[in-house]
C-alpha cells in the first residue's frame, strides 16, 4: 500500500469504513477499559502484582498486545512499578518531568506508561507505542523535533501531534490509537496478528527415572499440540494459526 496523499482523510476513511472487526471491537471497549483501568492506576499504592499482570494481557486491557512479554521482569520489581506509576500520577509536576523522573527502565518504557496515561487521562494523553510511531512516521505525522531531547520532552511533542490529529479526524485518543493499528495492518497485513504465547513448561519435583521419562514424554506431547493463535478480523474469535485462510487475518470459516 502506498502512503496516502492526505493522511488525515485516510484516517477518517478508516474510522468510517469499519473494515477491521478487531479494531471496531477495540473502539467499542473504550468505556469499559478506561472505566476499569483508570480507577486502578489512579491508586497505585493499592496495585498488586495479579492486577498489573492482567493489565499486561490483551484480553484484559482490550487494546495492546505483546505487553505480557514483560510480565516477569515487571512483577519482580512491583515496588518500583508502583513508585513509577505514582510518579506518573503526580499532577503537581509537568508530565515531561514526571516521565523523565522514571529513569531508563527497559521494561517500563513508553509502550507501558503511555497506555497508563491514556486510561487515567483519556482526554489529555495519547499512546506512544511501536505501532503508533511506525504509522505516524509512515503517514508523515511524526513530529520533527523529537531527536536530541529527553524522553519526556519527546513524548510531549508526540502527544501534541496526537491531539492535533484527534481533533482533525474528529475522534478521541483511544480510538485514534486503534486507527494506527488499522493503518499498519493495511500497510502490512502479515505483521499484526494478535497472538497468545505458548504455555510455559511446568516445573515438577525430582522423580525417579521411569516417572521422569513419562513426564517428559507428556510434556513434549503437550508442546507439540500447542499452537499459536490469531484473532479473526471477521468473527473476532481466537483460532489456531492453521485455520488462517488465504486472506490475511481471516479464518477459513469466514473466508
In degrees and rounded to multiples of 5, residue 4 shows phi and psi of -60, 145
Closest listed residue to residue 37, CA positions, set 61, 19, 21, 20: 61
* Within a domain: 60: yes
* Within a domain: 92: yes
Query: How many CB atoms are closer than 10 A to CB 144?
Result: 7
* Within a domain: 2: no
* Within a domain: 36: yes
The residue among 169, 187, 205 that closes a domain is 187
Q: Supply the range of the domain harboring residue 253.
A: 194-255
Do 106 and 177 sit in the same domain of this protein? Answer: yes
Closest listed residue to residue 168, CA positions, set 4, 3, 31, 6: 6
Using CA atoms, how far apart are residues 182 and 178, in angstroms rounded to an integer?
6
Using CA atoms, how far apart are residues 55 and 40, in angstroms rounded to an integer?
10
Do 101 and 205 sit in the same domain of this protein? Answer: no
* Within a domain: 127: yes
Per-residue burial over 32-55, b = 16 or more CB atoms within 10 Å of its CB, e = otherwise:
ebbebbeebbeebeebeeeebbbb
What total number of domains does the chain contain? 2
Closest listed residue to residue 86, CA positions, set 41, 48, 51, 121: 41
What does the pLDDT average to over 169-182?
94
Do 156 and 247 sit in the same domain of this protein? Answer: no
- What percent of the chain stands above pLDDT 70? 76
pTM, two decimals, is 0.74
* Within a domain: 115: yes
Confidence at 138, pLDDT banded by 50, 70, 90: very high
Do 91 and 210 sit in the same domain of this protein? Answer: no
The residue among 136, 153, 187 that closes a domain is 187
The residue among 156, 187, 218 that closes a domain is 187
Do 57 and 178 sit in the same domain of this protein? Answer: yes
Each residue's pLDDT tens digit, 20-79: 777 888 899 999 999 999 999 999 999 999 999 999 999 999 999 889 999 999 999 999
Do 80 and 117 sit in the same domain of this protein? Answer: yes
Amino acid at each position: 500500500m502506498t502512503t496516502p496523499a492526505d493522511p488525515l482523510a485516510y484516517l477518517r476513511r478508516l474510522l468510517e469504513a469499519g473494515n477491521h472487526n478487531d479494531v471496531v471491537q477495540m473502539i467499542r471497549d473504550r468505556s469499559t477499559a478506561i472505566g476499569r483501568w483508570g480507577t486502578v492506576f489512579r491508586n497505585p499504592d493499592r496495585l498488586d502484582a495479579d492486577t498489573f499482570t492482567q493489565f499486561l494481557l490483551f484480553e484484559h486491557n482490550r487494546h495492546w498486545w505483546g505487553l505480557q512479554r514483560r510480565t516477569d521482569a515487571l512483577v519482580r520489581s512491583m515496588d518500583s512499578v508502583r513508585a513509577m506509576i505514582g510518579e506518573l500520577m503526580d499532577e503537581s509536576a509537568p508530565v515531561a518531568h514526571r516521565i523523565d523522573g522514571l529513569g531508563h527502565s527497559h521494561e517500563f518504557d513508553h509502550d507501558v506508561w503511555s497506555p497508563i496515561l491514556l486510561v487515567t487521562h483519556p482526554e489529555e494523553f495519547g499512546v506512544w507505542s511501536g505501532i503508533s510511531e511506525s504509522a505516524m512516521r509512515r503517514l508523515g505525522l511524526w513530529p520533527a523535533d523529537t531527536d536530541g531531547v529527553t524522553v519526556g520532552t519527546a513524548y510531549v511533542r508526540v502527544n501534541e501531534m496526537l491531539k492535533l490529529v484527534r481533533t482533525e479526524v474528529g475522534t478521541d485518543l483511544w480510538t485514534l490509537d486503534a486507527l494506527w493499528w488499522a493503518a499498519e495492518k493495511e500497510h502490512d497485513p502479515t505483521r499484526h496478528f494478535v497472538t497468545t504465547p505458548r504455555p510455559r513448561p511446568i516445573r515438577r519435583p525430582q522423580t525417579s527415572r521411569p516417572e521422569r521419562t513419562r513426564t517428559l514424554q507428556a510434556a513434549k506431547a503437550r508442546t507439540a499440540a500447542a499452537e499459536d493463535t490469531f484473532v479473526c478480523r471477521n468473527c473476532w474469535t481466537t483460532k489456531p494459526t492453521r485455520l488462517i485462510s488465504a486472506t490475511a487475518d481471516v479464518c477459513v470459516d469466514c473466508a
